[in-house]
Copies of this chain bind each other. A is one copy, B any other.
Amino acid sequence: MIVEMQTGVSQEEVDAVVQKVKSYGWGAQVMAGTDKTVIAILGSNTGRVSTDIFAVYPGVEKVTRIMKPYKLASREVKPKDTIVSINGIEVGGKRVVVMAGPCAVENEKQLTEAARVIKDAGAVILRGGAFKPRTSPFSFQGLQEEGVELLRKVKKQFDLPVVTEVVDTEDLELVSRAADILQVGSRNMQNFSLLTAVGKKQRNMPNGSVPIPVVLKRGFSCTVTEWLTAADYLLAEGNDQVILCERGIRTFEDSTRFQVDIGAVPVIEKVSHLPVIVDPSHAAGHYSLVPAIARAAIAAGADGLLIEVHPNPKEALVDGLQSLTPSDFGRLMKELRQIARAIGRDI
């Protein structure tokens, strides 16, 4: 950390800060510039304390963090790419992974048709929500337990792993019955209790228990730094099977529902070892805009996509407007395959 002192600061004020630095076992190097005195704090884990600890001292103008607040998610801690593996499907490897399906599980017919359509088109993971976080208490909240059972049934029938959202610690056990990947939604990215519980969740396997892979959606108003720091909550519990999902951020623009931060894809690749996918559907808000954003995501280097597809969007109970029809999805998959090949990957 770098502590910048105000102009005209006293020696006592400088000393007090240096004293505090030393109380943490860190080194303090004082630089008296022509205009300002600056104190550099040298130590290996300064990223773990708040800058406030020094900023609150008299005579301090500003404290700037140099170590990032996230640690386990950073490429400095683990230079090699993390590959998340779901029943042999690898996210973060050469192949671009498409996860698709309806926003909400509505009934068996809908889910079965959706599964057939997306598998035929080349998607390898089925998405579908049994628990839906809705802004109004008067909206459809998902089929819940019945939805989980439908997901279990349909995934077996089509041999498709399932990604589905968990919205509360209390439902974690239930949702895990169907989930091959647990999704933590945008509004829960900083629900730290949920993150801790999800990070701890294990699945029993013949040779011991293993963590369940997690898709961690970016909070729609959270920075990349906050997102990776939230991922640290999962990683700190020993779960390294974390897939980041960019789904659009909230800005002043209103012609799309959220604005995909396409630059976040190369930023993540640069600073973190975790794979990143993109959800073009929630951001676009309108089916006609989904294909362009999906293509852009692949071209930018995303490791996969999370796309909403509904057999009959007009009858969808949730988010029908942003869902692709089966034929639109089929067409899009062909386009995406071309883009993937153009950058040396495949779908």
Q: Which residues of A contact B (CB under 8 A)?
A: 2, 4, 7, 20, 27, 29, 31, 33-36, 38, 40, 42-44, 48, 50-53, 55-57, 62, 64, 66-67, 69-71, 76, 133-139, 141, 167-171, 187-188, 190-194, 196, 220-221, 223-226, 229-230, 232-233, 236, 249-256, 259-267, 269-271, 283-284, 286-289, 291-293, 295-301, 313-314, 316, 318-323, 335, 338-339, 341-343
A-B contact pairs, 28 of them (CB 8 A): A4-B66, A7-B76, A33-B40, A35-B44, A50-B318, A56-B323, A57-B314, A69-B135, A69-B136, A137-B196, A167-B193, A168-B169, A171-B193, A187-B190, A223-B253, A224-B255, A249-B251, A249-B253, A259-B262, A263-B289, A265-B292, A270-B289, A295-B299, A296-B300, A335-B342, A338-B342, A341-B342, A342-B342
What residues of chain B lie closer than 8 Å to A169, measured between beta carbons?
Answer: 168-170
Which residue of chain B has its CB nearest to the CB of A40? B31
Please report the C-alpha to C-alpha distance between residue A298 and residue B299 in the assembled complex, in whole angstroms: 8
Partner of A255, one of B2, B137, B264, B301: B264
Are B319 and A135 closer than 8 Å at their CB atoms? no
Are A137 and B236 closer than 8 Å at their CB atoms? yes
Please report the C-alpha to C-alpha distance between residue A332 and residue B224 in the assembled complex, in whole angstroms: 25
Please report the C-alpha to C-alpha distance between residue A262 and residue B94 in the assembled complex, in whole angstroms: 24
Please report the C-alpha to C-alpha distance between residue A134 and residue B83 in the assembled complex, in whole angstroms: 28
Are B34 and A43 closer than 8 Å at their CB atoms? yes
Lowest 10 A-B CB distances belong to which pairs?
A221-B221, A299-B299, A168-B193, A266-B292, A296-B296, A52-B321, A338-B342, A342-B342, A256-B263, A296-B300
Please report the C-alpha to C-alpha distance between residue A135 and residue B224 in the assembled complex, in whole angstroms: 12
Overall SS of chain A's interface? mixed
What residues of chain B lie closer than 8 Å to A319, measured between beta carbons?
Answer: 50, 52
Which has the most chain B C-beta neighbours within 10 Å: A168, A264, A287? A168
Are B262 and A293 closer than 8 Å at their CB atoms? yes
Are B56 and A320 closer than 8 Å at their CB atoms? yes
Knowing A69-B135, A252-B250, A283-B263 touch, does A220 contact B223 (C-beta < 8 A)? no
What residues of chain B lie closer than 8 Å to A292, measured between beta carbons?
Answer: 262-263, 265-266, 269, 299-301
What residues of chain B lie closer than 8 Å to A320, measured between beta carbons?
Answer: 52-53, 56
What residues of chain B lie closer than 8 Å to A221, measured between beta carbons?
Answer: 220-221, 250, 252
Partner of A48, one of B136, B283, B286, B322: B136
What residues of chain B lie closer than 8 Å to A262, measured between beta carbons?
Answer: 259-260, 262, 292-293, 296
